[in-house]
A and B are shown apart, each in its own frame.
Chain A
Amino acid sequence: MNAPAWLEKQRDVARQTFDRLPLPTRRDVDWQRFDIRKLKLDKVAEPALTEKLSASPGNGVIFCDMATAIAKHSDIVKEYLGKGISPDEPNKFNALHVSRLNTGAFLYVPRDVKLTVPLEILYTLTGASGFPHTLVVIEPGAEATLVQKFTGGPTGDMSIHASGTEVFVKEGGHLHYISYQNFNPNVYDFTLKRAHVARDAEIDWVIGMFGASFQRYDIECVMEGEGGNSFMYGVGFAEHNQQFGQFTKQHHKVGNTTSDLLFKNVLRDSAVTNYSGTIKVEKNANGTNAYQSNKNLVLSDKVKCDTKPILEIESNQLRCTHGATVGRLEEQHLYYLRARGLPEEQAREVLLEAFLDPVLARIQVEDVYKEFSSLIHQKVIRK
């Protein structure tokens, strides 16, 4: 089936952008910490990725795979696709994924429809590349919970996953967004998630980063209407030679908006994490509340853990705090648990999980909370 002309055009722009931008190297400030020399983009294999969606709840809600969305709901898709994540952003991997855009999912929740049952998308990478795009539109006064899972990846050869999640939460709308990646080793994951948050709208995010050998996540909230809120929480567990980049941006275009952020990482073996959190407050965005915290628990001397805040603030009436810690397990905690009979190994495991639990506690969907817990538990006990 041929893609509609407007989509073909976006792919073209993305292709040109991709060709124009060089592959990042360690000389680029955002890439200094990473070794991506194994990555070859000149001969990217044919995409092989499946998407599996939970049942659509009816009620005027559209919840379908991207190919169906383009074929059947072209009018609505066309109105939003590429408007939150542009095909010509200066991001080589975004350009790559948009240039191949034909898989993914679309969620559209009409005005004032409040969904109580969580919707779920499971993406499984079945070959050497995958480029899903998820488009989410929450109309005014609507509410939904979306759970996104990224898994798979062939064992053996290197494979590449580049994806985008483009979200619009309109006036008074509410999206509970939960997402994790648990790719097999050898997957290189480049992911951009961006939510546009309108007046009195809200998004809360819980993002889990567990698998892949390399992942770069760019996660942004764009606060576009007064009274808007974004609560962004992330957990990462990096071990062996895993490299995790986490680039967040709390972008306040308009005042009287709030963004809160907490990212927690556990690093073990020779893992690398690089957290970089931008808070951008535009000139007249007075009455902004922006909070950012990044906490890292380090379990070995060989890990590399970097964290930095970047403040681009042009308003002078705002509340803004940021903080970062890199620490080890507290001896005192260990002693207390052991004094109650827990063997040292078990006490350490309990404390590792405890470090991440405050983020997990934000997950409102019981089954998904359990899934996060069990993914973390398996990593903790090295199963």
Chain B
Amino acid sequence: MADTLEIIDLHARIEEREILKGLSLTIRKGEVHAIMGPNGSGKSTLANAIMGNPKYEVTGGKILMKGEDILEMEVDERARKGLFLAFQYPCEVPGVRQANFLRLAVNARFGRELDVMEFYAKLEDKMKFLDINEAFMKRYLNEGFSGGEKKRNEILQMMMLEPEFAVMDETDSGLDIDALKVVSEGVNKLRGPDLGILIITHYERILRYIQPDFIHILVDGKIVKSGGRDLAAHLEEHGYDWITKDTVKA
């Protein structure tokens, strides 16, 4: 209980359309889960519903983090409690300087003013690890960043904020092979008994670097199959057709 993120029979909709139709999933700290599924099946909807995007309406079910009902919390409270979402399309926020933003976020997350030196030392360390140029910190948040740079920046934020549960929405899309390695190393570094991870992806590739404990297949708003790593390889080869047929039969 105290170390799980439990999603129980979740129903969610956007603009009057039901997207999630009774989804259940439990992630324990220390575990890495992967969700795969066709375009439009509801993966990003799940990610946003967990994070608390006000555009998505949860119409049924529960989400418990460490036993607490997070559907009752605003998005920022969820974040401060240790939930993190690496966005599929991180937005550009002109006028907000990266370093300032990170400092405010870190202060909010840890509930105290971090010493400036301490903050910059930590930041420099993570940036070096992710191979991010120092000049980036003076720039505006994500503005003019390439797709890959934005993704790397999400992982930087994740490393700075040390979440307890992280959802990563297609962090691998748009990354070249070197960036993918760097990002995966970042995630593997964070991986451990204090963090539960949910990776959303279309490709088996990232799962070779970040080996998941479980793989789930999401089709039309529901998890239709769960299994081990071999599921990903099977999908890569056969696509989703066989599952959809299977489930229709069942």
Contacts and interface: CB of A to CB of B under 8 A. Distances in A.
A337 interface: yes
Interface in B168-183: none
Of all A-B residue pairs in the complex, the 4 with the closest CB atoms, nearest first, are A354-B95, A341-B108, A341-B79, A340-B105
18 contacts: A332-B91, A335-B53, A335-B55, A335-B75, A336-B93, A337-B93, A337-B101, A338-B79, A340-B108, A340-B157, A341-B161, A342-B76, A342-B105, A350-B104, A351-B93, A351-B95, A353-B95, A358-B94
A26 interface: no
Contacts of A357: 95-97, 140
A354 B94 contact: yes
B191 interface: no
Contacts of A356: 95
A358 B140 CA distance: 10
A333 interface: yes
Q: Which of A347, A350, A351 has the most CB of B within 10 A?
A: A350
B67 interface: no
Given A341-B80, A350-B101, A357-B95, 7 more contacts: A332-B91, A336-B91, A338-B74, A339-B51, A340-B79, A342-B105, A350-B100
A243 to B, nearest CB: 26
Interface of A: 331-333, 335-344, 346-347, 350-351, 353-358
Contacts of B100: 350
A336 B105 CA distance: 11
Interface of B: 51-55, 74-76, 79-80, 85, 87, 90-91, 93-97, 100-101, 104-105, 108-109, 140, 157, 161
B95 A339 contact: no
Contacts of A338: 74-76, 79
Nearest to A333: B93
Nearest to A358: B95
Given A335-B54, A336-B87, A341-B161, A354 B93 contact: yes
Contacts of B161: 340-341
Contacts of B94: 354, 358
A313 to B, nearest CB: 31
Nearest to A343: B76
Contacts of A346: 104, 108
Given A335-B75, A347-B76, A350-B101, A342 B108 contact: yes
A353 B157 CA distance: 21
A354 B97 CA distance: 8
A134 B93 CA distance: 39
A356 B94 CA distance: 10
Contacts of A336: 87, 90-91, 93
A340 B101 contact: yes
A347 B54 CA distance: 15
B188 to A, nearest CB: 22
A299 to B, nearest CB: 15
Given A350-B96, A350-B101, A344 B76 contact: yes
Contacts of B79: 338-341
B74 A344 contact: yes
A356 to B, nearest CB: 7
B108 A343 contact: yes
A352 B80 CA distance: 22
Contacts of A335: 53-55, 75
A350 B103 CA distance: 12
A345 to B, nearest CB: 10
A214 B101 CA distance: 34
- B53, B55, B76, B140 — most chain A CB neighbours (10 Å): B76
Determine which residue in A331, A336, A351, A356 has the highest number of CB atoms from chain B within 10 A of its CB, and name it: A336
Contact of B96 (A339, A343, A344, A351): A351
Nearest to B102: A340
A356 B157 CA distance: 24
A47 B127 CA distance: 58
Contact of B91 (A333, A347, A350, A358): A333
- Among B55, B95, B140, which residue has the most Cβ atoms of chain A within 10 A? B95
Nearest to A353: B95
B101 A341 contact: no
Contacts of A347: 76
Contacts of B87: 336, 339
Q: Which of A339, A340, A346, A347 has the most CB of B within 10 A?
A: A340
A371 to B, nearest CB: 18
Contacts of B97: 357
Nearest to A345: B76
A353 B95 CA distance: 7
A341 B105 contact: yes
A140 to B, nearest CB: 36
Contacts of A340: 79, 101, 105, 108-109, 157, 161
Contacts of B54: 331, 335
A341 B95 contact: no
A343 B91 CA distance: 18
A371 B100 CA distance: 18
Contacts of A333: 91, 93
A74 to B, nearest CB: 47
